[in-house]
Chains A and B, each alone.
Chain A
Amino acid sequence: KNQVEQSPQSLIILEGKNCTLQCNYTVSPFSNLRWYKQDTGRGPVSLTIMTFSENTKSNGRYTATLDADTKQSSLHITASQLSDSASYICVVSFFSGGYNKLIFGAGTRLAVHP
């Protein structure tokens, strides 16, 4: 069964600290992996997208890694800011019938405290 599991479910850190969010997946055949940031009550916004051949991608203070062999990804946030407080969603896709089918994780809710 195609699944995406994220951990931890929620996380609290102090402003300025680093943190790492985890994503494990069993989606097959794998096409790409995306990380989204979703503020409460808003639509998700894309942070990174990685294909099978990419093992790291950065977007400012966000760095995503991908290990396609172990089917794991992580999102590292450096020097956290209060505005980083949001849910972070891992999305894995596989290509079928001309369409990218997406499997969404439940997200990690991050709270950054001053």
Chain B
Amino acid sequence: DGGITQSPKYLFRKEGQNVTLSCEQNLNHDAMYWYRQDPGQGLRLIYYSQIVNDFQKGDIAEGYSVSREKKESFPLTVTSAQKNPTAFYLCASSTHGSPSGNTIYFGEGSWLTVV
């Protein structure tokens, strides 16, 4: 089936560690996104990529890094510089942006907890 796969579903990070969340899509979408969701708040954009080998910072990029070496893959690394990383992370993808809009598909999310 076509879709977006995020892994792992649950991840625990020790203080000072970097962790990487995987996001793979087989929808042939050009654009991919990473969002962070905290209780009682709307999703906030961390990074986005409109095309392979290109990505841009979102609203809360500090402490995170990404790569886009393949169209299908957009991994997110949560570095030790991110002081409050405990959250629910959502990966999404879409066809190229257009004025009329297009559906954005989300993965099932990854829970990251600092221990």
Binding site for B on A (CB under 8 A): 4, 9, 31-32, 34, 36, 41-46, 49, 51, 89, 93, 95, 98-100, 102-107
Determine if A106 and B41 form an interchain contact, defined as CB atoms under 8 angstroms apart.
yes
Binding site for A on B (CB under 8 A): 4, 6, 31, 35, 40-45, 48, 50, 88, 90, 92, 94, 96-109, 111
| A-B contacts besides A51-B101, A99-B97, 4 pairs, CB < 8 Å | A34-B101, A49-B103, A100-B102, A104-B44
Give min CB distance, B15 to chain A, whole Å. 25
Q: With A43-B106, A100-B102 as given contacts, are A89 and B111 in contact (CB-CB < 8 Å)?
A: no
Determine if B97 and A102 form an interchain contact, defined as CB atoms under 8 angstroms apart.
no
C-alpha gap A98/B100 in the complex (Å):
12
A-B contact count (CB 8 A): 65
Q: Which residue of A lies closest to B40 (CB)?
A: A106
C-alpha gap A48/B70 in the complex (Å):
30
Give min CB distance, A18 to chain B, whole Å. 25
C-alpha gap A107/B103 in the complex (Å):
18
Q: Which residue of B lies closest to A105 (CB)?
A: B42
Q: With A102-B45, A105-B42 as given contacts, are A42 and B108 in contact (CB-CB < 8 Å)?
A: yes
Q: Which 6 A-B pairs have the closest CB atoms?
A: A104-B42, A43-B106, A32-B101, A104-B43, A100-B97, A99-B97
User: Which residue in B6, B42, B99 is a CB contact (below 8 Å) of A106?
Assistant: B42
Query: Could you jot down 23 A-B contacts, CB within 8 Å?
Result: A9-B40, A31-B99, A31-B101, A34-B104, A42-B108, A43-B4, A43-B107, A44-B90, A44-B106, A46-B105, A49-B101, A49-B103, A89-B42, A89-B43, A95-B99, A99-B97, A100-B94, A100-B98, A100-B101, A100-B102, A104-B35, A104-B42, A107-B42
